[in-house]
A = this chain, B = another copy of it.
Amino acid sequence: MPKVVVDVMPKPEILDPQGKAVLGALPRLGFSGVTDVRQGKRFELELDTVDDAVLGEVEKMAETLLSNPVIENYTVRVEA
């Protein structure tokens, strides 16, 4: 079954409190060397078929339902 992945991340200029919380916790757990953390959402969609028309539909889904285009960017890709 073909799978399409939609990754939704906060826009670079948008404050990412969840990412900052993770970044702040890492040293307390003994981890170092991480300069920034951004946290977003990952959607895995299983579809009947995957072709250009379907990918166009997934773009619309990402734009209207899966992301908030004002504060988030999204990418759509097919994963084997």
Which residues of A come within 8 Å of B, CB atoms?
Answer: 1, 7-9, 19, 22, 25-26, 29, 31, 33-49, 54, 57, 60-61, 64-66
Pairwise interchain contact B40-A45, C-beta atoms closer than 8 A: no
Query: Which B residues touch A61, using CB under 8 A?
Result: 26, 29, 31, 34
14 A-B residue contacts at CB 8 Å? A8-B42, A9-B44, A25-B65, A26-B65, A29-B64, A29-B65, A31-B60, A31-B61, A34-B45, A35-B48, A36-B46, A39-B41, A39-B43, A41-B41
Copies of this chain assembled into the complex:
2
A37 surroundings in chain B (CB, below 8 A): 43-46
B36/A45 in contact, CB under 8 A = yes
Set of chain B residues within 8 Å of A42, measured between Cβ atoms: 7-9, 39-42
